[in-house]
Structure 1
Amino acid sequence: MRYRELGRTGWKVSEVSFGAWAIGGSWGKVDDNDSIKALHKAVDMGVNFFDTADVYGDGRSERLLAKLRKEYKDKIYIATKAGRRLEPHTVEGYNRQNLTSFVERSLKNLETDSIDLLQLHCPPTPVYYMPEVFDILDDLVKEGKIKYYGVSVEKVEEGIKAIEYPNVQSVQIIYNMFRQRPAELFFELAKKKKVGILARVPLASGLLTGKMKPDTKFEPDDHRAFNRHGESFDKGETFAGIDYEVGLKAVEELKSVCPSGMTMAQFALRWILMNDAVTCAIPGAKSEKQALDNFASGDLPQLPDEIMSNIKEIYEKYIYNYVHHRW
Structure 2
Amino acid sequence: MQYRRLGKTGYDVSTISFGAWAIGGTWGEVNDEESMAALHRALDLGITLFDTADVYGDGHSERLIARLRRERPEPFYVATKAGRRLNPHEAAGYNRQNLRSFIERSLKNLEVDALDLLQLHCPPTELYRQPEVFGVLDDFVQEGLLRSYGVSVELVDEALEAIRHEGVATVQIIFNAFRLKPADAFFAAARAADVGILARVPLASGLLTGKLRADTPFEQGDHRAFNRHGEAFDKGETFSGVDYETGLEAVERLRPLVPAGQTLAGFALRWILMFPEVTCAIPGARNPAQVEANAAAADLPELTAEQMVAVQQVYDELIRAQVHGHW
Q: TM-score, normalised by structure 2?
A: 0.99
For 1:45 and 1:118, the matched residues in 2 are separated by 25
Alignment partner, residue 320 of structure 2: 320
Alignment partner, residue 189 of structure 2: 189
- Quick check: 1:279 aligned with 2:279? yes
Alignment partner, residue 300 of structure 2: 300
Letter of the 2:200 partner, please give it. Answer: R
Q: Pairwise mapping of residues 65-144 of structure 1 onto structure 2 (< 5 A)?
A: 65-73=65-73, 75-144=75-144
Letter of the 2:175 partner, please give it. Answer: Y
Letter of the 1:61 partner, please give it. Answer: S
Alignment partner, residue 229 of structure 1: 229
Residue 258 of structure 1, CA deviation: 1.1
Residue 72 of structure 1, CA deviation: 3.4
Alignment partner, residue 217 of structure 1: 217
Secondary structure at 1:246 match in 2: helix
**Which whole-Å deviations, capped at 9, do the CAs of 1:265-291 have from their partners, x for residues lacking one?**
101100000000000000010011111
Residue 168 of structure 1, CA deviation: 0.5
Alignment partner, residue 10 of structure 1: 10
Deviates more, 1:242-251 or 1:67-76: 67-76
For 1:72 and 1:171, the matched residues in 2 are separated by 28
Letter of the 1:123 partner, please give it. Answer: P
Secondary structure at 1:4 match in 2: strand
Residue 10 of structure 1, CA deviation: 1.8
For 1:206 and 1:256, the matched residues in 2 are separated by 18
Alignment partner, residue 290 of structure 2: 290
**Which whole-Å deviations, capped at 9, do the CAs of 1:62-82 have from their partners, x for residues lacking one?**
000001122334610001000
**Which whole-Å deviations, capped at 9, do the CAs of 1:63-120 have from their partners, x for residues lacking one?**
0000112233461000100000001101111111100000000000000110000000
Alignment partner, residue 263 of structure 2: 263
For 2:21 and 2:277, the matched residues in 1 are separated by 24
**Which whole-Å deviations, capped at 9, do the CAs of 1:274-314 have from their partners, x for residues lacking one?**
00000000001001111111111111110011011110001
CA distance 1:74–1:127, change in 2 (3 Å): farther
Alignment partner, residue 166 of structure 2: 166
For 2:315 and 2:135, the matched residues in 1 are separated by 40
Q: Pairwise mapping of residues 188-207 of structure 1 onto structure 2 (< 5 A)?
A: 188-207=188-207
Alignment partner, residue 21 of structure 2: 21
Identity between Structure 1 and Structure 2 (%): 62
For 1:10 and 1:105, the matched residues in 2 are separated by 25
For 2:79 and 2:201, the matched residues in 1 are separated by 16
Structure 1: state its 5+ residue gaps: none
Letter of the 1:2 partner, please give it. Answer: Q
Alignment partner, residue 34 of structure 2: 34
Residue 260 of structure 1, CA deviation: 1.4
Root-mean-square deviation (CA, aligned residues, Å) is 0.7
Structure 1 stretches of 4+ with a deviation exceeding 6 A read none
For 1:253 and 1:29, the matched residues in 2 are separated by 32
For 1:110 and 1:21, the matched residues in 2 are separated by 15
For 1:31 and 1:74, the matched residues in 2 are separated by 24
**Which whole-Å deviations, capped at 9, do the CAs of 1:187-210 have from their partners, x for residues lacking one?**
010001110000000000000000
Letter of the 2:196 partner, please give it. Answer: G
Alignment partner, residue 51 of structure 1: 51
For 1:124 and 1:226, the matched residues in 2 are separated by 22
For 1:120 and 1:198, the matched residues in 2 are separated by 13
Q: TM-score, normalised by structure 1?
A: 0.99
